[in-house]
Amino acid sequence: MNNRSSWFDREVCLAELLHTIPRIKIEAALRRTIGDVWRIVDADDVPILDSGLEVNGNQAEVPLTIEIEVIGRLVVPEIHRQHGEAATRWLEMVLTNAYRYRMAADLHLEAVNADHETLQQKHAALQESEARYRELAAQLEQRVKAQVEVIERAQRQLYQSEKMASVGSLAAGMAHEINNPVGFIRSNLNTASSYLDKMQNTLRTFRRGDKEQADSLWQQQDIDFVLDDFPGLVDESITGADRIARIVENLKAYASIDCGSSAAVDLNDAVRAAAAVVGDQLPGNIQIETDLQPLHPIVCDLSRMNQVMFSLLLNARQALGAGGGCIRIMSDMAGNEVRVAVSDNGCGIKQEVLPRIFDPFFTTRDVGQGMGLGLTVARDIVNVHGGRISVETAVGEGSTVFLYFPINNNERAT
């Protein structure tokens, strides 16, 4: 008989349980759930498994429990506590199944030399254990479901917060751009009104037949200048009205897509819509250039893609600062992926800051200049559609954000 102590008769060991599961699968699952920074320790704080990156700053320690016994903890950054709790529930189920498998394996090994009575006792113990596991599994399933709902609700609130921030920035820019033509249209209308008064007075005098007084009034009111200037006022006002109409049309094109509806679309449409809206708000020393190649359609929520593009263009605008510069948008096919790149020749990003740019609420701007959610929400939206996002940067030279989407993303996008 194997002389190892039975899994029925000893305390649960986290390290042994983890060694029964392929490490690469655990690491991949944890990275998908909570990111690249985490570690697992046993009940005595001995490190068992980690991501390779140190968990700095505020930490959340989520207990790992098997059979109501705390056998270790999952340590994650405080901002990922909810994700850590959901990951822990999943890990507990996996470890519980591994523990159950080890007990079943021990039972099979011992049954070879056990008599019938011993086998019956082990069988009864296994049945009792199975019943307990079923109960625990049901409880864990409910807890995981509740945690997932909490995370999804928090994520929806995060999206809404960033969307409201984008709407605020958009509204402020639109108000400024519309106010300029409205201002000179109002001024022109006031001038035109005074011109009409002058012409009406002169015409009434002519109608009364007092030509001498009418000629005098014509000179006093400078009607020749009025007649020369009036067409220019009208043309300038029409130009201003056309500009307002174009701004409104661009805004309608950007915002009129139904949220939550997925369809096969050309990402160039999202690029053009966002570029038109942002372009209306840019000062004269900032230019937007586009190099858009034909793209394979992908299934996506176009309103969310508009939000991604707007966030990237707004970041590029802020990176250029008062000195101005150029924002360049490129799109093409990279193998079986649609690629979009947004570049600026602004200040760039410091290397020590780069790993944190996708963290929620992280921003290098002054207080009140942004919530630090733009890139976080952009990354999450890209991930939901089965895509990926990356950044290349050089301090003093600028940054480029790359978006990649597989052309066969139908299942992920729906």
List pLDDT tens digits, range 185-233: 788 788 878 878 878 877 887 777 777 777 787 888 787 887 888 787 7
Task: Report how far residue 344's alpha carbon sits from residue 117's, in angstroms, rounded to the nearest whole number.
Answer: 78
- The CATH T-level fold of domain 263-414 is Heat Shock Protein 90 (3.30.565)
Instruction: Tell me the sheet residues that pair with 47.
Output: 41
Query: DSSP state, 355?
Result: G
Say what the pLDDT of residue 371 is: 46
Q: Which two tokens stand for residue 411?
A: 């299942």
Residues in contact with 346: Cβ distance below 8 Å, sequence separation at least 6, in sequence order: 316, 319, 320, 321, 325, 398, 399
For 231, counting Cβ atoms within 10 Å of its Cβ (0-12 exposed, 13-18 middle, 19+ buried), the class is exposed
Q: Return the sign of the alpha-carbon dihedral for residues 143, 144, 150, 153.
A: negative
pLDDT at 99: 76
Q: What is the pLDDT along the chain (414 residues), one digit of tens a residue?
A: 444 445 555 566 788 788 777 878 888 888 888 888 888 888 888 888 888 777 777 888 888 888 778 888 888 888 878 888 888 888 888 888 877 777 777 766 666 655 666 767 777 888 887 888 788 878 888 888 788 777 767 766 665 665 555 555 555 656 666 777 778 778 878 887 887 887 887 788 777 777 777 778 788 878 788 788 878 777 777 777 777 776 666 556 555 444 456 788 899 988 988 888 788 777 878 899 999 999 999 998 887 888 888 888 888 888 888 888 999 999 999 999 999 999 999 888 888 888 777 776 666 655 444 445 677 778 888 888 889 999 998 888 899 999 999 987 654 444
Which pLDDT score, from 0 to 100, does residue 257 have?
Answer: 42
Cα separation, 262 vs 281, whole angstroms: 29
Alpha-carbon 404 to chain mean position:
14
Residue 16 is predicted with a pLDDT of 79
Residue ranges matching CATH 3.30.565.10 in the chain: 263-414
Instruction: Please report, for residues 5, 12, 14, 329, the alpha-carbon distance to residue 9 in angstroms, rounded to integers and kept in the order given.
Output: 7, 9, 16, 65
| Extended beta strands in 281-377, E state | 286-292, 298-301, 325-334, 337-344
